[in-house]
Structure 1
């Protein structure tokens, strides 16, 4: 019988709470690390009273029973926490982006490889069941053009490229590989230097992708429009629609059933349980960081 993996989660903000919820279904979340925010501490004690709570990360690093550390903290802290966790022989799941620089990403990948550990980066949209369906469509029909549009409000406390664009770049790189060229077409400022922008990725002569992200919108919506050699598709929330040329209408051809974050957490547990100590998602994260650095700001 395989023993349930023991996990520590560092960071108890909005996303950290989501990770507690899903990892608790798949493993034993032994400890959560918080900055000491009283509201977050009360939330954990109310909803997950059996999980230990601490403000001392060393309690996690020195606990030999903990197999893996999940990091959901501000981006600037990712490198230090991930490095300490890997050096303490813990597998690491870190929310995207992996680090602020390519050099930092390379150092973490080297440590993970040297210690035979999994370094997993949370690009959650890759685990959306609709995206998996789109990958199959691309294999059969070949996508020629993709248009990614994302509207939401905030947050404004992180760089928009690192925090939001990294999601859409992960989808593009998974589908098409590294682009030949990246071009920023427009940018607008409200509270930070860039709060809305549009850019293009060029993957050779016949394939390109457009990405537009606006974090000043009064409503939330994420849409991906895809043109293949034969058809036109729209990914709208949890539905995949296909344009019917005969009726000139859109028809739903697929609907996702499982939450992407749960599937992502499940994949991490599968990897460390199988002792298949992958750094593939970290290598993808490094490529994303290198692309972001090429964008003129």
Structure 2
């Protein structure tokens, strides 16, 4: 079996998770890992470097960019110009115009450009999607917060680091752009209210909270369905009772997402589950309102 040669750019918290997930995929060969910090790997077969320009001279099937958000556009632009297929962790860029420029460049050069919206590859999300089919008058409550003790995020970091997950999911579930009804920022916490077709109400908080939480509660026909992204658990709450509908290994979504990208390299063409530019368009509107 001919393995795909992959480079990882960025070996921080998420880059390490990507590395571990790729190691579990047989058709992948991690060729090079790049980070400015010392890389704690002892695999002699993997090239280690602190200079991303080294990757621009390598024969690689694909490169995964898992660096800080503000570096995504510049790095992706350089690698696309050199003809590389890319997986870029969300957000693709930190503005709509930058994202559009990258997508147009990839299309012009017939390259795969994949944005890492991991929840779109979560098995429990597909379970929820089936439950929501043909349902009307829905209500969703989202909570995506970090502990107060953790590093405070700026307004832009909250928008482009936390919001993409949920905007991508809303587009995936309902196929329509959520309209912003109200939005406010106070002390590193954004509270927002969205509406879809005057039938689906979405409210939530993103940013600094009392604890780290990644939950979406769906109010469906007098029932509460709770998706807990940290535990990878789907719960049903009804008549004061609670039961687990389904749970999965928390490592699965990232492995499935990366496998989807690797398959696109084999097939020479990628079809994202939702267009990245649609996500970026909503993020752009949120930023302007704040």
Cα distance in 2 for partners of 1:14, 1:106 equals 27
Q: CA deviation at 1:230?
A: 6.2
Task: Give the count of matched residue pairs.
Answer: 279
CA distance in structure 1 between the partners assigned to 2:181 and 2:151 by the alignment: 24
CA contact (8 A) 2:136 2:199 kept: no
Counterpart residue number, 2:41? 44
- TM-score under structure 2 normalisation? 0.88
Q: How far apart are the structure 2 equivalents of 1:277 and 1:205?
A: 33
Shift of the 265–142 alpha-carbon distance from structure 1 to 2, 3 Å rule, reads farther
Matched, 1:110 2:109: no
Instruction: Show structure 1 runs of 5+ residues with no match.
Output: 190-194
Cα gap change, 1:95 to 1:32, in 2 (>3 Å): same
Q: Give the match for residue 24 of structure 2.
A: 25
Q: 1:240 to 1:143 in 2, by over 3 A?
A: farther
Alignment of 1:158-169 (within 5 A): 159-169=157-167
Distance change >3 Å, CA 141–CA 209, structure 1 → 2: same
For 1:267 and 1:102, the matched residues in 2 are separated by 25
Q: Taking structure 1 as reference, are residues 180 and 33 closer, same or farther at Cα in structure 2, changes over 3 Å only?
A: closer
Q: After TM superposition, list the pairs within 5 Å mapping 1:97-176 onto structure 2.
A: 97-139=91-133, 141-142=135-136, 144-153=138-147, 154-156=150-152, 159-176=157-174
Q: Distance in 2 between matches of 1:167 and 1:58?
A: 30
Change (3 A) 1:179 1:140: closer
Residue matched to 1:273: 266
SS in 2 for 1:156: coil
Equivalences for 1:171-250 in 2 at 5 Å?
171-179=169-177, 181-189=179-187, 195-217=188-210, 219-229=211-221, 231-236=223-228, 237-245=231-239, 248-250=240-242
Choose from 56, 61, 64 the match for 1:67.
Answer: 61
Corresponding residue for residue 192 of structure 1: none
- 1:285 corresponds in structure 2 to 276
Change (3 A) 1:151 1:105: closer
**CA–CA separation in structure 2 for the residues paired with 1:200 and 1:179:** 13
Aligned-pair CA distance for 1:225: 0.8
The answer to whether the Cα contact below 8 Å between 2:153 and 2:207 also exists between their aligned partners in 1 is no
Shift of 1:199: 0.3
After TM superposition, give the deviation of residue 92 of structure 1 in Å. Answer: 0.3
| Ranges in structure 2 where 5+ consecutive residues have no aligned partner | none
Shift of 1:49: 3.7
**Further displaced range: 255-264 or 121-130:** 255-264
Contact 1:95 1:123 in 2 (8 A): yes
Tell me by how many angstroms 1:284 deviates.
Answer: 3.0
2:15 is aligned to 16
Change (3 A) 1:258 1:238: closer
